[in-house]
Amino acid sequence: MHQPDLLTQQDQSSNLPQWTPYISYPPGAIVWYAGTIWRCESGHTSGYEPEGAPTNNLHLWTPVGSNGPQAPYSGQQPYHPSQYSDQGYYGQPPSYSPQPSNPQGGWAQQYYNAPSGSSSNINNPNLYAPSPHPPYSASPSDGYPNEKSDTPSSGETITNGKGEKGVSSTTSFFSDKANESLRYITLRKETNDAKDKDELKHELKGKRIWRTGGIGVWSYSEDQKQEESKKKLWKDWSKDHNSKDWIKIARERKEFYEKESKGVKPLFMWKLVEPGQRLPSDALPIGHEQDGAVLYAARSWWEGGIHLGKAGHHLHNGASISYGGAEITLDTYEVLCGPINEPYLVKWMTYRHGEVASVQGWQPIEGGRESDGTALLLAKGDYENGQHPGKCLINDDHACVGYGGGELWVRPFSILAYANSDRR
């Protein structure tokens, strides 16, 4: 389902944003709907039209007039996901639901069994998780810094007033909106840049690191022309390079991601783990063993490709991938990282027995590539009372996971995707 774009839905007569489904509205937000100006009274994520519209939710919205000046901001605190987790039209974000108890407990449970719609139900609104959306208006800036420049003076920094003494909630609210505007503009620019083969080559050489997700060599493109280009670029590059070259570039990516800065960076990223190193503190829990031990998504170079598997503190050498019928342990790998307290930013697309993996109108999280350049998607599946991260090919009817020294095919399976293509 296409996510609505607030930047193109301004109502000309009122100069206010049109009310839109699947948007996280903070208290005090003003919108235009059905010929009337409405004010949000309680933070929530808007539901499917017409049931979720202001006209059918007078406990959430108040009509304040059909014309005239914009109603003043209420002065209430800006929206924060955890603040309204039990409020709003749908209550909990629809991409996940409360989970059964787990031996590990805590925040890790949020990522374990996140349900998502079947591939045959892509248009089901409940598949789409609420997430902060691009602000109401924005215009591209004239010029961008070099990709590896990420200092506060780079021009990509918007000062956030949070935590500063004397800064009002209104100032903080609009600072957040400005930061989201910057991310949105950067995503649009980089999406266009990623169509250039030279830019993708720079990525493979480590000369370019993307500031937003779902657009580079590691991302599957629904546009088949772009996907074939990525496939060929990886195949040609991997012929002349080896694991040492990949590790060198992965190390540079990690340094860029961990550099302290307020510049735009991907919300989800792969960070290198080398022998003797601990998993990053923001590694995302993706699954679990039968005994509850947490499993994370991992990927690594193997036989000319970048293959996906799992990582964990309890695993021999730290991680493993499945390949050629075997489970291969590794001590140098990348692990998927991101905002662990914001699970609504991603969703799991689930395929049942007999269904094949297809991507239609949504963006998978970055994965890997076979040696011939074929895209590998981050997947997971259930086995022996555990949930194991692995990999999946487009049009396959199963996911591959490593277990007990072998490679298993699991059904049903799920593929990890961005919940909102405009925020990644």
Query: pLDDT in tens for each of the 424 residues of the chain?
Result: 333 333 233 333 446 888 988 787 888 888 888 888 888 888 888 888 888 899 888 888 888 775 443 333 333 333 333 333 332 222 222 222 223 333 333 333 333 333 333 333 333 333 323 333 333 233 333 333 344 544 332 333 333 334 444 455 666 665 666 678 888 999 999 999 999 999 999 999 999 999 999 999 999 999 999 999 999 999 999 999 999 999 999 999 999 999 877 789 999 999 999 999 999 989 999 999 998 899 999 999 999 999 999 999 999 899 999 999 999 999 999 999 999 888 889 999 999 998 999 999 999 999 999 999 999 999 999 999 999 999 999 999 999 999 999 999 999 999 999 998 888 9
- Any domain includes 138: no
**Pair 398, 317 in one domain:** yes
- Any domain includes 370: yes
**Pair 210, 256 in one domain:** no
What is the torsion angle, in degrees rounded to the nearest 10, for the CA atoms of residue 76, residue 346, residue 235 and residue 394? Answer: -140
- Any domain includes 60: yes
pTM of the model: 0.64
Which residue range is the domain that position 183 belongs to? 152-234
- Any domain includes 347: yes
| Side-chain half-sphere CA neighbours of 212 within 13 A | 24
**Pair 85, 170 in one domain:** no
d(CA 172, CA 170): 5
What is the full DSSP assignment across 126-139? GGSPP-----S---
**Pair 405, 325 in one domain:** yes
- Compute CA distances 128 → 31, 121, 227, whole Å: 21, 11, 24
- Any domain includes 124: no
Judging by beta carbons within 10 Å of its beta carbon (0-12, 13-18, 19+), is residue 125 exposed, middle or buried? Answer: middle
Considering only CA atoms, which of 404, 409, 353, 354 is closest in space to residue 379?
A: 409
**Pair 367, 264 in one domain:** yes
**Pair 218, 253 in one domain:** no
- Any domain includes 61: yes
